[in-house]
Structure 1
Amino acid sequence: MFERILFPTDFSEPSMKVLDYIPALQEAGTREVVLVHVIDSKDITLIASGGQGFLGTVPDQETETQRQLREEIQHRILDTRRALERRGVKVTVRTPVGSPGKEIVAAADAEGASLIVIGSHGRSNIRDRLLGTVSEYVIKNARQPVLVIKRDIVIGR
């Protein structure tokens, strides 16, 4: 039933909890995972500005920051892909640039996903929100069913 799932992640702990559910999804028929990491266009704008401040921008630092970000993303994608492949699923990777919610919904349609499996919260992990803004957008706008994996709640923080 859910042969091809879309797994959007920003590599935060809440979003990576999806990996724990892969065996159960395989029992439900999952054979392929489309791993999606959206490079937020707002982040690119911030990085491209070179951290403009009192001293202006420093082109060498901007280039170095962009290189480091690209390498970190590639490393995390590769690690996540290997973790999925070890569990016996075929993996396709997409790294679109844009607004995360919109790009996730577009990728699900373009890839013919039968299910989107998303963490309830991403990097911001705002404690007082029931859902993160990206997962909320995906739930409201996706044509596919959406399985939301809840974050761990820590009492006393």
Structure 2
Amino acid sequence: MPFQHLLAAYDGSEQSKMALDKAVDLVRSTPGSRLSVVHVYHFPSLVVGEAMIAAPVSGELDGMSEAERLLEEAKARAASLPNTTTALLQGDTALAVLDYAEKHGADLIVIGSRGLGRLGELFLGSVSHYVVQHAKVPVLVIKRE
């Protein structure tokens, strides 16, 4: 049975662009299927002992503007599909993607093998690895050639 609801995670990286393009192609070739595109943003905070230090408000506003810009970019890449929804999520990227997939009934997650996360680059595709290990549905990981 073909996949009916694909979820593409998008962060603006080259691999997430490739993942979104692949998801669009899959939906286009499967009549009746639909696509959800999510972008997850995270406002960093630092916990020291019992104190929590949050990012400055100006940084949060800049981060939110960038997140909205990336989601608009993703919408434009998927504009050829009539049955596409988008969502801007906040929190840990891998957990947010998994939660969205479960709550909205996605039956395939399409994700790039590496994204834009600075710390995540120290680990081998930590977000995609976590999603693959914990997803309850198949995951298609797109690697750069």
Q: TM-score, with normalisation over the residues of structure 1?
A: 0.74
What are structure 1's unaligned runs of at least 5 residues? 51-61, 153-157
What SS does the aligned partner of 2:116 have? coil
Find the aligned partners of 1:118 and 1:16 in 2 and give their Cα distance.
9
Find the aligned partners of 1:141 and 1:30 in 2 and give their Cα distance.
27
Aligned pairs for 1:1-157 (under 5 A) are 1-21=2-22, 22-29=24-31, 31-40=33-42, 43-45=43-45, 49-50=54-55, 62-85=56-79, 87-124=80-117, 126=121, 129=124, 132-152=125-145
Q: Sequence identity, in percent?
A: 28
More strand, by proportion: 2
What SS does the aligned partner of 1:96 have? strand
Q: TM-score, with normalisation over the residues of structure 2?
A: 0.79
What are structure 2's unaligned runs of at least 5 residues? 47-52
Find the aligned partners of 2:28 and 2:78 in 1 and give their Cα distance.
11
Find the aligned partners of 1:67 and 1:74 in 2 and give their Cα distance.
11
Backbone CA RMSD of aligned residues: 2.3
Instruction: Indicate the structure (1 or 2) with the bigger Cα radius of gyration.
Output: 1
Find the aligned partners of 2:40 and 2:83 in 1 and give their Cα distance.
20
